Amino acid sequence: MHKNKGPVYYGDYLQLPKLLDSQLPLSRKYADETNGECHDEMLFIVVHQVYELWFKQILHDLDAILSVFNKTYIPEVELSSIIQKLERIKKIQGLLIGQFDVLETMTPMDFLEFRDLLIPASGFQSVQFREIEIKLGLHTNDRMDVDREFFMGRLSEKDRAHLTEVESSPTILKCLEGWLERLPYTNTSGFNFWDEYQKSINAILKDDQDIIEANSAHLTERAKMIQLENLKMTRGTFESLFQTESHDELIKNNQRKLSQKAILNALFILLYRHESMLTLPFHLITSLMDIDENFTTWRYRHALLAQRMLGTKIGTGGSSGHQYLKRAADNNRVFLDLFNLSTFLIPNSRLPKIPLEVKKKLSFNV
């Protein structure tokens, strides 16, 4: 615990003179007799500065998480600390999304009064947001339909060098993969969970086929064929979990990111989330999904704001504006593998029974 070394003044502690003197509208600088300062440019600056302050806090928390999550052994108390910081990031994201409500009090014509003064500045150039994306696991080369040179070329040489260095550092996605791969419960002496799980899946799929056959009298031949084909595709999707070659092909085609072992162990956590030792891992996985979802929502709101303000005009940074932002929201998910695990969930009543020896390891023994 640190002790007070003397009187502290509120404004000095928060550096308020510096902070409150950093809103400098360009329309004020270039104002003349006919075109004075644009009133809503102050709002535009304040909102974006607040975004950057919250980005700074998110990075502060991500760095703390990575310093722990990158270890080969993570004590339970530190796992709790990781989840607590992820929960804070989620709360901050709620504020980030809510700021669009404030920005939308500005009309398109109010924005157009000062928009041309911003060219070629762009949200592309928010280095902190780019850093957040990279530290979560979205490298520039992972972005769909984006040329790296074009993307990085919008930045200053100093910022390009900084982000290139960040891309060589551990990410939440890679740390998650390593952590999941170390889960010890799915293959122990005398018990291979995945053999039992596949038996349950085969039984469920057989039930589905029996239902289709039993109702064939009420189906046209084409409808029956479509249902059977869909069932075949479902079977193939389940099989891709266990066929290393199929999984590697999906990774090669950017349809999966996590290793086969990591995905299987994440699925085990979701299936048995009610077991004591899996409660924190379950919260970790769902928190990462929430953060991914919140940033996707933030990007969608950004895209809608761009359309509301600009229609089909190009963005100040030269992008296609609304269309680019909408594609970015659709394509730049980090933890999509975790979302897709719902494909492989089965009813609790069909879950394989865990042997007593393994169940004890999943419980807190007093």
pLDDT tens digits along 133-175:
999 999 887 776 666 676 777 889 999 999 999 999 999 999 9
The verdict on whether residue 124 carries a ligand-binding annotation is: no
159 is written with which tokens? 């910022």
Q: Lowest-pLDDT range, 70-79, 98-107, 168-177, 187-196?
A: 187-196
Contact 97, 90 (CB under 8 A): no
pLDDT category, 365, cuts 50, 70, 90? Answer: low
Quick one: CA dihedral 21, 26, 29, 31, positive or negative?
negative
Q: Where are the beta strands (DSSP E) in the chain?
A: 187-188, 191-192
Cα 198 to chain center, whole Å?
Answer: 30
The verdict on whether residue 334 carries a ligand-binding annotation is: no
Give me the residue spans of the domains in the chain.
40-188+255-341
> Greater confidence, 216 or 175?
175
Residue 366 is predicted with a pLDDT of 45
Work out the percent of the chain whose per-residue pLDDT is above 70: 94
Average pLDDT over residues 230-247: 91
Q: Lowest-pLDDT range, 47-61, 76-90, 227-241?
A: 227-241
The verdict on whether residue 55 carries a ligand-binding annotation is: no
What does the alpha-carbon distance between residue 31 and residue 40 come to, in Å, rounded to a whole number? 14
The verdict on whether residue 45 carries a ligand-binding annotation is: yes
> Greater confidence, 93 or 353?
93
Work out the percent of the chain whose per-residue pLDDT is above 90: 62
Asked whether the predicted pLDDT for residue 319 surpasses 60, the reply is no
The whole-model pTM stands at 0.90
Q: Where on the phi/psi map is residue 243: left (φ > 0), alpha (ψ -120 to 50), or beta?
A: beta
The verdict on whether residue 283 carries a ligand-binding annotation is: no
Does CATH place domain 40-188+255-341 in 1.20.58.480?
yes
pLDDT category, 256, cuts 50, 70, 90? Answer: very high
60 is written with which tokens? 């502060």
Q: Beta partners for 191? A: 188
The verdict on whether residue 48 carries a ligand-binding annotation is: yes
Q: How many other CB atoms are there within 10 angstroms of residue 362's CB atom?
A: 15
Residue 363 is predicted with a pLDDT of 79
The verdict on whether residue 247 carries a ligand-binding annotation is: no
